[in-house]
Structure 1
Amino acid sequence: MPELLSFADLSPTCFADVLPIEQVMEPGIVPLWPDMPRIAGPAFTVRCAPGDNLMLHAAIYRAKPGSIIVVQAGDHRFAVSGGNVCAVAGQRGIAGFVVDGVIRDLQEVKDIGFPVFARGVSPKPGGKKVYMPLNEVITCGGIGVGPGDLIVADREGIVAIPAARRQEILAAARQRQAADDATPLAQWRDKHRQRIAELLIKAGCPDGAPEPGTTRR
């Protein structure tokens, strides 16, 4: 999917510069193994009941290849996934999991290289008893995520780009990144120093931004 590759070219920081905080997940959801690659793809959303993981297990057979399964876990004490579930998801072309909760079998997940962003690990699995509808709006990482929202995740963080605005946001993020890439550090530093001085004065500092160790009179 060329479009998804375009999103994967940019860090979540680029998108966060042009998105409101309501589209940026809380920092507690992190990559669970080192050097995990950036993932980007449409959200397939899952809500699990407290202590139960049935719906995530169902989702790995229903999500389309390239999707990122985004999970609102009902209880952070119980793992919603283990190594076999991640292996099957990877075989089916799922790009990764973003879990507001915990998983288990982390070494297995790392060994197969399946990307999982979550709050941590727990050896205790959840049950498989409670049906809940799939692919509805959920809460993950403190923000709302809808089916098809574009997820971009790496070690810098996770953003959820509304499906209806994905091309608009991609264009804005590309423009912002291009401007940054075209600005030498010395030029950025000079503009930054001037801007910070102006903002300090606006915020109530009477002497702007003096150099360290100096005093303005």
Structure 2
Amino acid sequence: MTLIMQNISKNYQDGEQVVEVLKNVSLEVKQGEFVAIVGPSGAGKSTFLSIAGALLTPTSGEITIGGQALSSLSTKELTRVRLEKVGFIFQGANLIPYLNVKDQLLVIAELAGHRNSEVKQRATQLLEELGLSHRANQYPEKLSGGEKQRVAIARAMMNNPDVILADEPTASLDAERGYSVVQMIAQEVKRNNKAAIMVTHDERILDLVDRVVRIEDGQLH
């Protein structure tokens, strides 16, 4: 399932002024492709990622996920897209403190209305793939930074989304842990044939992606 962003612009009104955050940008990410977006702070990276994941609506332009144009969808349908077609990995792991590792995954499936034995099997399989089986019953406070971020990867993959979006996934990790976390994202992208975009400042992990796109002054280069 390909992610296509066509002629995306995003403007904000700031008093009398119109601020252009994104200026007519286009990007296509194919199944099994892992793309990094790099650029200075304030260049529009997070806005770009939020629009790709249907968290923000562009001022103009179109996003298509797996052949479905998002502009034609209702608010309810967009919520369904975010739950089922997009997996988010945030800067901090953003885990729920009172849920154990396995339940962090199961709650995502439940939100999407999936409550069967296959769901539990999938959670078990993902934790195994990411080397977290022995942590399944632990709570976030007992996990290291790297383990938390691996749980976040597993959670993003839980509903088998078409698109994975990662926002600075190494920001709170040291160099070695950061590298291994991005390595795991890359493996999951290839293993499960996902389209993935990662926003990062971390130049040391760019050898793990298929393509690097630079964003500057709201434009892609």
Name the TM-score, length of structure 1 as normaliser. 0.27
Higher relative contact order (CA 8 A, sep 6+): 2
Larger radius of gyration: 1
Structure (1 or 2) with the greater strand fraction: 2
Name the TM-score, length of structure 2 as normaliser. 0.27
